[in-house]
Amino acid sequence: MTMVTVDKLNFDYPDKRALFDVSFSIAEGSVTALVGPNGAGKTTLLRCLAALEHYHSGKITIGGYDVADHPREVHHLTGYLSDFFGLYDALTLRQCMTYMAWCQKIPALDVNKRVLDLAMDTGIEKRLDERAGTLSRGYRQRLGIALALIHDPRFIILDEPASGMDPEARIHLSQMMRRLRQQGKTMIVSSHILNELEDYCTDMLVIQNGRVAEHVKLHDYAARNVRTLHIGIAHLGVSHVEMLQKQPGLTVKSTENDIAACDYTGTVEDQQKMLQALIAAGVPVFSFSASAHKLQDAYMDVTSRKEAKP
């Protein structure tokens, strides 16, 4: 089932167009990494999805609602964290969350439990009675995430959620994102920290110069694209060296104590053929392993291909 559909979306600022015929869909229960260089249009796109901008043309449907015609309904089913946001600094964290729960019309009897549960999830439970104005950047970010999730939204939009967080807080965030994914939440997350996005994302949407450069499922992308196979060879002889040098795509990274460490880059099918050829030639292969495909690898592959086009 599809949660989000974007069809030929165009967005104009007074002096320039920020989004050009952007089209894509997001499946329910998926987690999409929205990536691209600064100024590509990521934040503008997220604000359009959150029903916070009036776009020039096109159509956005979220949870069956047309965003332009039913923004309030979209607000109710969507949780949104912007890249820059304000807090009521004079209120305590508990008061901030309680106020947001009231705004989202959460039943009064459920508010306290919801606040405590989310505080535990975001790691702010020990600071609930401190004023928001005393928080560090990382803890302000945690509170912002809690406020975005207070009404248990079906669709979650997070713009740079890990900004300002220390390594421990980022690990905590990744764990929470995986829990949300297990609960069946649909999410789109923008971040420059690609190695953390890959912990929980299922899809990648690349935006460049206001256009969709690529939209792929990461599992399918990894399966059909090249990766590196690391091969260990023991009892290396002269004949083996000559044989290895003749193999296209195979690189001998190091040799020590008659042991060679080699890398081979190719598709899964190519890797299978390479191993078969080495073994058939009597090369004493004692280990091999494929490097896991990284989100950053996928992103760099997409951007390099786009830049190579005239």
Q: What is the pLDDT of residues 162-183, one digit of tens each?
A: 998 998 889 999 999 999 999 9
Mean pLDDT computed over every residue of the chain: 90
239-263 confidence digits (pLDDT tens): 777 778 788 888 888 878 778 888 8
pLDDT band at 223 (very low <50, low <70, confident <90, very high): low
> What residues contact residue 284 under an 8 Å CB cut-off, 6+ apart?
233, 234, 235, 240
CATH superfamily label, 2-216: P-loop containing nucleotide triphosphate hydrolases (3.40.50.300)
Q: Are strands 227-233 and 285-290 parallel, antiparallel or unpaired?
A: antiparallel
pLDDT band at 224 (very low <50, low <70, confident <90, very high): low
Of the chain, the percentage scoring pLDDT greater than 70 comes to: 91
pLDDT band at 216 (very low <50, low <70, confident <90, very high): confident
Q: Where in the chain is the domain with CATH 3.40.50.300?
A: 2-216
SS3 of 250, please? strand
Q: Where in the chain is the domain with CATH 3.30.70?
A: 226-290
Contact 191, 162 (CB under 8 A): yes
SS3 of 79, please? strand
96-125 confidence digits (pLDDT tens): 999 999 999 999 999 999 999 999 999 999
Instruction: Give me the torsion for CA of 83, 63, 219, 190, rounded to 10°.
Output: -10
Of the chain, the percentage scoring pLDDT greater than 90 comes to: 65
Lowest mean pLDDT among 75-79, 263-267, 278-282: 263-267
197-214 confidence digits (pLDDT tens): 888 999 999 999 999 999
Average pLDDT over residues 16-20: 97
280-296 confidence digits (pLDDT tens): 888 889 998 877 556 67
Asked whether the predicted pLDDT for residue 137 surpasses 90, the reply is yes
For residue 290, the 8-state DSSP code is E
Lowest mean pLDDT among 45-54, 111-120, 121-130, 299-308: 299-308
Contact 283, 244 (CB under 8 A): yes
SS3 of 278, please? helix
pLDDT at position 281, please? 84
DSSP states of 9-70: EEEEETTEEEEEEEEEEEETT-EEEEE--TTSSHHHHHHHHTT-S--SEEEEEETTEETTT-
| Total residue length of the chain | 310
What global pTM score does this model have?
0.79
DSSP states of 172-236: HHHHHHHHHHHTT-EEEEE-S-HHHHTTT-SEEEEEETTEEEEEEEHHHHHHHS-EEEEEEE-S-
Asked whether the predicted pLDDT for residue 83 surpasses 80, the reply is yes
> What's the CATH class of domain 226-290?
alpha beta
pLDDT at position 269, please? 81
